[in-house]
Structure formats: C-alpha cells, structure tokens
Homo-oligomer: A and B are copies of this chain.
C-alpha cells in the first residue's frame, strides 16, 4: 500500500491512514486506562459516559468508511451493546481497526474530493467526512482525558502516538 509522495501534495492517503490509526491507538489506551465501573457510569456535567462516547465513535468510524466505499446511506446507529464489559468495547475497537484498514485500500486517490452524504444526513467531501471522523474522535477522547483526571488517573500522553509522517 506504499505510494510515492508527489512533491506538491499536502498529505498522501497512506499518511492520513497512518495518522488516523495513530489516533485510534491512543484512544484505545485511553479506554484501557478507565476503570471498568467508571467506563459505564462516570460522567461530568450530565455528559455521556465513556461507554456511550466510545459507542458513538464505533458507530461512526467503520460504518462511515464502509458507506464512503460502498455508497450506502444507512442511518447512524449508536446503540452498541458492550454487555457491560470493557473487553467487549476493546474487541469492537480492534474489529473497527480492521474494517478501516480494509475499506481504506478501496478509496482511490481520485475520490477524496467527491461529494457524499454519510449516514443519510451529513453532506461533505470524502476528505472532510474522514477528517470529521478523526476530529470527533480527538474531541470525545479529550473529554475522557478530563474524566481520567477527575478520577485522579494519569492519562496517556497526547503526543505518544504514530503521527503517520514516517
């Protein structure tokens, strides 16, 4: 899947993929750091629990990319059942990694500026949709950083990840 870098490109498809996977590995570490009971119950200011935030992230990443590749427009379904087990959430996280890896190879470079509607509702380009998936993950993961701090647990370092640039 290696590709030559055209000198005038900001970022290649392969780099963006690695960059995202680096973020996903960090998010996985954050999930691991949250105690099991807090994963399903902790909240600040009426916000969603870590389990519900992770459920949203899982509902977006793999299924979103699948829609981009296959042109389907299924609705967002955030109701994942973790069976009250963080291990289940982590297994689904790993499964989503594999899904993303599989679908990524099917997005040809020529398609990133195509206009699409993800989840039958969100209009954008393919690149801006993928950026939304990543940005939204950073956003909710950062909220889990605050949860960890409030629980007096040191979160993994924000910079301790693969930036995708090597």
Contact = CB atoms under 8 A, between A and B. Distances in A.
B10 A9 contact: yes
A125 interface: yes
Interface residues of A, number: 48
A159 B56 CA distance: 15
Interface of A: 5-13, 15-16, 19, 23, 44-47, 109-110, 112-113, 124-125, 127-128, 131-132, 135-136, 138-143, 145-152, 158-159, 163-165
17 contacts: A8-B110, A9-B10, A10-B10, A10-B11, A10-B12, A10-B127, A44-B150, A45-B146, A45-B149, A45-B151, A47-B146, A131-B163, A132-B163, A136-B158, A139-B142, A142-B142, A146-B147
Contacts of A112: 9-11
B127 A11 contact: yes
A136 B147 CA distance: 18
Given A109-B8, A138-B142, A125 B165 contact: yes
A147 B44 CA distance: 9
A139 B138 contact: yes
Given A142-B143, A158-B136, A131 B19 contact: yes
Contacts of A125: 165
